[in-house]
Amino acid sequence: MTVRIAVIGAGLMGADHARIVAADLPGATLQVVCDSDAGRARTVAETCGAADVATDPEAAIVRADVDAVIIASPDHTHAPLVLACIRSGKRVLCEKPLSQTPAECLTVMKAEMATGARQVQVGFMRRYDRAYAEMKSALDQGRIGRALMMHNFHRNVATPAADFTGAMAITNSAPHEFDVVRHVLGCDYATISAAQAKRSDAVVAPVVMVLETSDGQIVTIEINNNAAYGYDVRAELVGETASIAMNPVAYTRTDRALAAGTAYDTDWRGRYAEAYRRQNRAFVRFVETGAFPDVAASVWDGYAAACVAEAGVRALAEGRKCPVERVPRPEFYA
Amino acid sequence: MTVRIAVIGAGLMGADHARIVAADLPGATLQVVCDSDAGRARTVAETCGAADVATDPEAAIVRADVDAVIIASPDHTHAPLVLACIRSGKRVLCEKPLSQTPAECLTVMKAEMATGARQVQVGFMRRYDRAYAEMKSALDQGRIGRALMMHNFHRNVATPAADFTGAMAITNSAPHEFDVVRHVLGCDYATISAAQAKRSDAVVAPVVMVLETSDGQIVTIEINNNAAYGYDVRAELVGETASIAMNPVAYTRTDRALAAGTAYDTDWRGRYAEAYRRQNRAFVRFVETGAFPDVAASVWDGYAAACVAEAGVRALAEGRKCPVERVPRPEFYA
Amino acid sequence: MTVRIAVIGAGLMGADHARIVAADLPGATLQVVCDSDAGRARTVAETCGAADVATDPEAAIVRADVDAVIIASPDHTHAPLVLACIRSGKRVLCEKPLSQTPAECLTVMKAEMATGARQVQVGFMRRYDRAYAEMKSALDQGRIGRALMMHNFHRNVATPAADFTGAMAITNSAPHEFDVVRHVLGCDYATISAAQAKRSDAVVAPVVMVLETSDGQIVTIEINNNAAYGYDVRAELVGETASIAMNPVAYTRTDRALAAGTAYDTDWRGRYAEAYRRQNRAFVRFVETGAFPDVAASVWDGYAAACVAEAGVRALAEGRKCPVERVPRPEFYA
Amino acid sequence: MTVRIAVIGAGLMGADHARIVAADLPGATLQVVCDSDAGRARTVAETCGAADVATDPEAAIVRADVDAVIIASPDHTHAPLVLACIRSGKRVLCEKPLSQTPAECLTVMKAEMATGARQVQVGFMRRYDRAYAEMKSALDQGRIGRALMMHNFHRNVATPAADFTGAMAITNSAPHEFDVVRHVLGCDYATISAAQAKRSDAVVAPVVMVLETSDGQIVTIEINNNAAYGYDVRAELVGETASIAMNPVAYTRTDRALAAGTAYDTDWRGRYAEAYRRQNRAFVRFVETGAFPDVAASVWDGYAAACVAEAGVRALAEGRKCPVERVPRPEFYA
């Protein structure tokens, strides 16, 4: 028995998911690749060896030969398509963000709770990254004492679009940090403040956020979408007795021309390939067993990320510290 | 269509191969786990979900429901079992060493050539490791100039057996270095000399080898089987204009008690997990297509490693530089 | 001709200055060691080979056999003793802070300006550290593009006193960061906000500050006075095209017990020994020539540090972003 | 009282010694700079502020206003000038090598012993380098167990002269390694073998040596005089329970153009500036007190280096392992 998966969206991220399902997930089959651009769907389907292609996502979701769905279509379609999956009883892995508004996340939450069981996994794949896992494990096992601070840096070579803004840095780039820090620390955000540097050119300048958690920890997050020098994610978790930090991972270093150097990637795919693989394997087991994976992000986690992003946008616009508001956590997501 | 694989040998290495086949190789099925110790075979088979178990390797090889074989039984059984695979027309991935004597390797070579096609892949998995691949690529693309030297260090926490000797360091541990250096440099060894340090206790002391290649490069290899501090493999390839070296891979570092530290593994499995996975995937494709994988080690490579090991043992015993002798390379392995 | 120096204060810092003057400054002589505790003065004087000891700092300053003064006495005495030096026409190197109140700094400024020439060097020795010098040079030479952010981390093993507070982290520990960042960036602070983590024990918890400069850069500063694991200062300067960061300096690394480790110091003296030496040499040349050293910190710099510290204390107390206020910079300090 | 020093030789190395004496050695004065090229002597003397210049080294040595001598003239003049210093009762710091022939070293040894006291310090300054000191200290304090191996790499950007040979790599470059390894391990060499790589161009190819000590340790030394990429010295001391290695020392690292990089120096002066300073301070104390410095290299150490170099040249020429021969160590050098 194999899990037959429909991948919705055949862009960069969808193509990656299709490849993982087809080549890297024993127990799963790439059944349909769906994209509103039929040619793009066909290219990905042929490259990966999918059984079929489609252009209408809702139709693809309800197909009898589809057991589960991975959503990697444009951000604003995420929540409606997740709702369609819930309606048709198909478990779904939805790329982040679940939605950019907390309100829409709550709609999804209500729909999922109405089914009486977990249906939705949100694609915060960093929870499956070895570095964050080692940090969380060090904290949980008491090897660094109680957590005091977590410092996070997210740097891209350049923004995909010229009209990227500081608010988008908070809503589109920062959610990975918002979620993985919550996951590692095991707590929620109370306040957020944000400041943006000035650049001499037209591209978006870096944003620095400071968050306070409900347990009194300080979290800093830098989002630098035009770092130019490479794709670079860093994190350090500072405890009361010790500190644990992410190492850059480079398999070789080269001595040349009066310098010793290691290479940066141009994007996230190399750094997180293993995390995506583990996340998607966990999803296949979730589909098979119905047991929500320990490490995975839920609809609640997607909602929590949307809440802090919303407060962060306000904090940046108003130049002041803002509270992060949330509804109480339902027992369903305990 | 799936490739049904028999894994011969259910020790540490065989269990690892069984796990990879069962959980990590789309397109392959773990059909039989075979070990002379029936209980050990059963344990591995149950853990991994194998279809069947067996205690007689020759019988397992000829089964109709077995398409291909992975040999991970004791070293002295490797060549006889590879010959059995060749006889029954089953492609085989044989753990290193192919044999500890060049003569026996030649017997395998003759049998394989008689079939008119490649049947045997030798398990020098380091060829699939990213660090060595980056070093080879840097050399082949001219980014470091012509190769001058390659320095190699192989360190284990401790030898498995107390009666491990310096000669065994050369015949059992060094072949990985012998092979991957030949692979990276693309040349063969002309001479070898070897020296062994003295320890104050009873365990085997490190052996240092210096080899000259047919192209005039110098290769140094340290085998330290009782390094105590951790499992640690290092390599540096020095070119005429630049140098490229293997980095230690550690996802995190910890600051504690007046020190910044990164962890060592206790054995090779973490460091080379990805290389084994890639190697075994290449083997499945080899079984499916009959095309020998570009990067994989052949019977000729197994023979070359045995020749240099034999000369190394002599060099260590006699305290002098010894020539490495080989038959001419058959066109079949060009 | 040698510069005869009086060192005022024979505590940890004063003893270090006495040692540098006596053993490491060609062209200078350690003439007097002065401390209100006569025994402490004598111990330092004997260890370093000083010509004389004293207990009254004002008397020591006016001595005819004293050409110049280094002040390393308790913080609240700094400004009054600097004024005494100015009155007696002795050039002075004053340990940081010049004063903890901007108002007192303005008094010193007025006194120095009244002499018509520079008399006072403030001991912000990090300006003489190689790492910061390399960062400044990279920025000034255009090798990283325009500066966008500077991240700074200051960690001590433990606070000297149990009643150390978050406000003291800002007034006593952070001034080194405040000054060296201003020096590297070549600009001033516009606003500051501050947050403090919570600890589970009684010692002072870390403080995180975010500052905006008049040029639109973002500066983050962490002061963690009870980091436990070691003395650790870090800094990264992020430019529009590249980034330059301070490396940890460790001459050796040790592989032991499944870890590779490098050592941390327990305090600042090892890390900044060379910077103190260079700073004090610059001071001797200043005394000899009257030309204020290029890199050194002036009374204006001491005032600037006091202004931002004062605003930081307010920001922490009020939980909001505060403007940093200063009088206009006099031409005298241009 | 100040020690008045004559520096013999105003080349690269002599100019550096003159600068150290003049600017960095409290208690010493640069009295004379002597070079057969009067213009060169004058340039260095003026730059450093020497009292006088000279062109005849023997005359400079015997001057009444010279208390001690530093020899940095061409290698073949070292031993004769050291003998002249001994004759005139002046303590001397002689740049390495003391001589390139063991026989000439024995002549100096005899002359020094005839005075009944130590007169000569040999300029193996690496003994004063922090990295080697930390390695020796780790070994002596039992923190790595008994020493098993020491690996050493010496790389220059390029040889100064085109006619540099492999033999010269052994006699001119390797002595630093020969000496500091003996110093760290506290033992002597029994045998040496040597091999040289082949280059595709005319410059000298790297030489790799393997030495066995009288205590059964293995020492490897690579001398790569045309490494191209930078000046780079590495060392690792492997003990029975742990290993300690030299770290590269770089104060900053730069992220730029898809790479993280740290800089190499073009020559040894930056890396060993502190070691030269410490060595020369020890020499001044030696002159003042007559007590030979603990760490410093003696005539015996110069002789030991010459013996192993001589055996190494033979080993390279004959392609075989050669014994290292020495006279018994006189009680005078115990």
Q: Name the closest residue on chain C to residue A238, using Cα atoms.
A: C227
Q: Name the closest residue on chain A to residue B145, using Cα atoms.
A: A256
Contact assignment for D321 to B193 by CB distance below 8 Å: yes
Q: Is the pLDDT of residue D204 over 80?
A: yes
Residues of D near A (Cβ–Cβ under 8 Å) read 229-230, 232, 248, 250, 255-266
Q: Give the model's pLDDT for residue C163.
A: 85
Task: Return the residue in C208, C215, C226, C247 with the most chain A beta carbons within 10 A, the one to mutate for interface testing.
Answer: C208
Show residues of chain D in contact with B226, CB under 8 Å.
240
Q: Is the pLDDT of residue B23 over 80?
A: yes
Burial A136-168 (b: 16+ CB within 10 A, else e): bebbeeeebbbbbbbbbbbbbbebeeeebbbbb
Chains that touch B (3 or more CB pairs under 8 A): A, C, D
Q: What is the pLDDT of residues D241-283, one digit of tens each?
A: 999 999 999 999 999 999 999 999 999 999 999 999 999 999 9
pTM for this entry: 0.97
Contact assignment for D259 to A262 by CB distance below 8 Å: yes
Round to whole Å and give the CA distance between D19 and D30. 9
Round to whole Å and give the CA distance between C265 and D58. 48
Residue type, B131: A
> In this complex, which of A251, A254, A255 lies closest to B130 when CB atoms are compared?
A251
Identify whether the C-beta of residue D313 lies closer than 8 Å to the C-beta of residue D167. yes
Q: What is the pLDDT of residues C238-257, one digit of tens each?
A: 999 999 999 999 999 999 99
Chains that touch C (3 or more CB pairs under 8 A): A, B, D
Q: Give the model's pLDDT for residue B265.
A: 96
Show residues of chain A in contact with C237, CB under 8 Å.
none
Q: Name the closest residue on chain B to residue C248, using Cα atoms.
A: B260
Helices of type H across chain A: 12-24, 38-48, 57-62, 78-87, 102-115, 130-140, 166-168, 175-185, 268-289, 299-318
Beta strands in chain B (DSSP E): 3-8, 28-34, 52-54, 68-71, 91-95, 120-123, 147-155, 189-196, 207-213, 218-224, 232-239, 243-246, 252-256, 259-263, 322-323
Q: What is the pLDDT of residues C22-46, one digit of tens each?
A: 999 988 999 999 999 999 999 999 9
Q: Is the pLDDT of residue B284 over 90?
A: yes
Q: Give the model's pLDDT for residue A83.
A: 98
Round to whole Å and give the CA distance between A50 and A60. 13
Task: Return the residue in D134, D148, D191, D318 with the most chain B beta carbons within 10 A, the one to mutate for interface testing.
Answer: D148
Identify whether the C-beta of residue B4 lies closer than 8 Å to the C-beta of residue B67. yes
* pLDDT level of residue D181 (50, 70, 90 thresholds): very high
* pLDDT level of residue A279 (50, 70, 90 thresholds): very high
Round to whole Å and give the CA distance between D195 and B190. 13
Residues of B near A (Cβ–Cβ under 8 Å) read 23-26, 130-131, 134-135, 138, 143-144, 241-247, 249-257, 262
Contact assignment for C256 to B232 by CB distance below 8 Å: no
Work out the end-to-end distance of chain B between its first and last CA atoms, rounded to an integer number of angstroms: 32
Three-state SS annotation for chain D: CCEEEEEECCCHHHHHHHHHHHHHCCCEEEEEEECCCHHHHHHHHHHHCCCEEECCHHHHHHCCCCCEEEECCCHHHHHHHHHHHHHCCCEEEECCCCCCCHHHHHHHHHHHHHHCCCCEEECCHHHHCHHHHHHHHHHHCCCCCCEEEEEEEEECCCCCCCCCCHHHHHHHHCHHHHHHHHHHHCCCEEEEEEEECCCCCCCCCCEEEEEEECCCCEEEEEEECCCCCCEEEEEEEEECCCEEEECCCCCEEEEECCEEEEECECCHHHHHHHHHHHHHHHHHHHHHHCCCCCCCECHHHHHHHHHHHHHHHHHHHHCCCEECCCCCCCHHHC
Q: What is the pLDDT of residues A124-159, one digit of tens each?
A: 999 999 999 999 999 999 999 999 999 999 999 999
Quick one: which of D161, D176, D167, D74 has its CA closest to D122? D176
Chains that touch D (3 or more CB pairs under 8 A): A, B, C
Using CA atoms, how far residue B8 sits from B28, B91, C33, D223, in Å, is: 16, 13, 81, 47
Question: Given 3-state DSSP classes, what are the helix, strand and coil percentages for chain A, each rounded to the nearest 5?
Answer: 40, 25, 35
Cis omega before residue D97 (within 30°)?
yes
Q: Is the pLDDT of residue C178 over 90?
A: yes
Interval B242-266 mean pLDDT? 96
Show residues of chain C in contact with D252, CB under 8 Å.
131, 134-135, 138, 244-247
Contact assignment for B146 to D243 by CB distance below 8 Å: no
* pLDDT level of residue C111 (50, 70, 90 thresholds): very high
Residues of A near B (Cβ–Cβ under 8 Å) read 23-26, 129-131, 134-135, 138, 143-144, 241-247, 249-257, 262
Task: Return the residue in D249, D262, D267, D271 with the most chain A beta carbons within 10 A, the one to mutate for interface testing.
Answer: D262
> In this complex, which of A232, A258, A265 lies closest to D264 when CB atoms are compared?
A258
Using CA atoms, how far residue D35 sits from D8, D122, D229, in Å, is: 6, 20, 33
Which residue in this structure is represented by tokens 């300080």? A218
Show residues of chain C in contact with A217, CB under 8 Å.
197-198
Q: Name the closest residue on chain A to residue C230, using Cα atoms.
A: A242
Q: Name the closest residue on chain C to residue B231, using Cα atoms.
A: C258
> What domains can you pick out in chain D, each with its CATH number?
3-126+273-297 (3.40.50.720), 129-271+306-323 (3.30.360.10)
Task: Return the residue in A249, A254, A262, A265 with the most chain D beta carbons within 10 A, the one to mutate for interface testing.
Answer: A262
> In this complex, which of C201, C210, C240 lies closest to A199 when CB atoms are compared?
C240
* pLDDT level of residue A26 (50, 70, 90 thresholds): confident
CA dihedral angle for residue D245, residue D246, residue D247, residue D251, rounded to 10 degrees: 160
Strands B207-213 and B189-196: antiparallel
Q: Name the closest residue on chain B to residue D217, using Cα atoms.
A: B197
* pLDDT level of residue B112 (50, 70, 90 thresholds): very high
Percent of chain C with pLDDT over 70: 100
C-alpha B280: how far from its chain's center?
A: 13
Round to whole Å and give the CA distance between C169 and C222. 10
Q: What is the pLDDT of residues C324-333, one digit of tens each?
A: 999 999 999 9
Q: What is the pLDDT of residues C284-309, one digit of tens each?
A: 999 999 999 999 999 999 999 999 99
Q: Is the pLDDT of residue C126 over 80?
A: yes
> In this complex, which of B25, B138, B253 lies closest to A247 when CB atoms are compared?
B253
Show residues of chain A in contact with D260, CB under 8 Å.
230, 248, 250, 261-262, 264
Round to whole Å and give the CA distance between D312 and D326. 14
Q: What is the pLDDT of residues A201-239, one digit of tens each?
A: 999 999 999 999 999 999 999 999 999 999 999 999 999
Contact assignment for A210 to C193 by CB distance below 8 Å: yes
Interval A67-94 mean pLDDT? 98
Q: Name the closest residue on chain B to residue D220, using Cα atoms.
A: B208
The half-sphere exposure of B172 on its side-chain side, counting CA atoms within 13 A, is 16
Identify whether the C-beta of residue C18 lies closer than 8 Å to the C-beta of residue C33. yes
Contact assignment for D242 to C257 by CB distance below 8 Å: yes
Contact assignment for C263 to B266 by CB distance below 8 Å: no
Q: What is the pLDDT of residues D71-104, one digit of tens each?
A: 999 999 999 999 999 999 999 999 999 998 999 9
* pLDDT level of residue D111 (50, 70, 90 thresholds): very high
Q: Give the model's pLDDT for residue B323.
A: 98
How buried is B56 (Cβ within 10 angstroms: 0-12 exposed, 13-18 middle, 19+ buried)?
exposed
> In this complex, which of C151, C199, C320 lies closest to A320 when CB atoms are compared?
C320
B262 to chain A, closest Cα gap in Å: 9
Percent of chain A with pLDDT over 90: 96
Q: Is the pLDDT of residue C165 over 80?
A: yes
Percent of chain D with pLDDT over 70: 100
Q: Name the closest residue on chain A to residue D263, using Cα atoms.
A: A259
Write the CB contacts of A46 (distance below 8 Å, at least 6 apart in sequence).
none
Identify whether the C-beta of residue B157 lies closer than 8 Å to the C-beta of residue B228. yes
Mean pLDDT of chain D: 96
Show residues of chain A in contact with B249, CB under 8 Å.
249, 251
Q: Name the closest residue on chain B to residue A28, using Cα atoms.
A: B26
Interval B94-116 mean pLDDT? 97
Show residues of chain B in contact with D206, CB under 8 Å.
148-149, 218, 238
Contact assignment for C138 to D254 by CB distance below 8 Å: yes
User: SS3 of C59, please?
Assistant: helix
Show residues of chain B in contact with D227, CB under 8 Å.
238, 243
Q: Name the closest residue on chain A to residue B271, using Cα atoms.
A: A251
Quick one: which of A330, A317, A315 has its CA closest to A114? A330
Q: What is the pLDDT of residues A177-198, one digit of tens each?
A: 999 999 999 999 999 999 999 9
Count A/D contacts: CB-CB distance under 8 Å: 51
Contact assignment for C206 to A212 by CB distance below 8 Å: no
What ipTM is given for this predicted complex?
0.96
Total residue length of chain C: 334
B194 to chain D, closest Cα gap in Å: 9
* pLDDT level of residue A161 (50, 70, 90 thresholds): confident
Contact assignment for B149 to D222 by CB distance below 8 Å: yes
Q: Is the pLDDT of residue B134 over 80?
A: yes
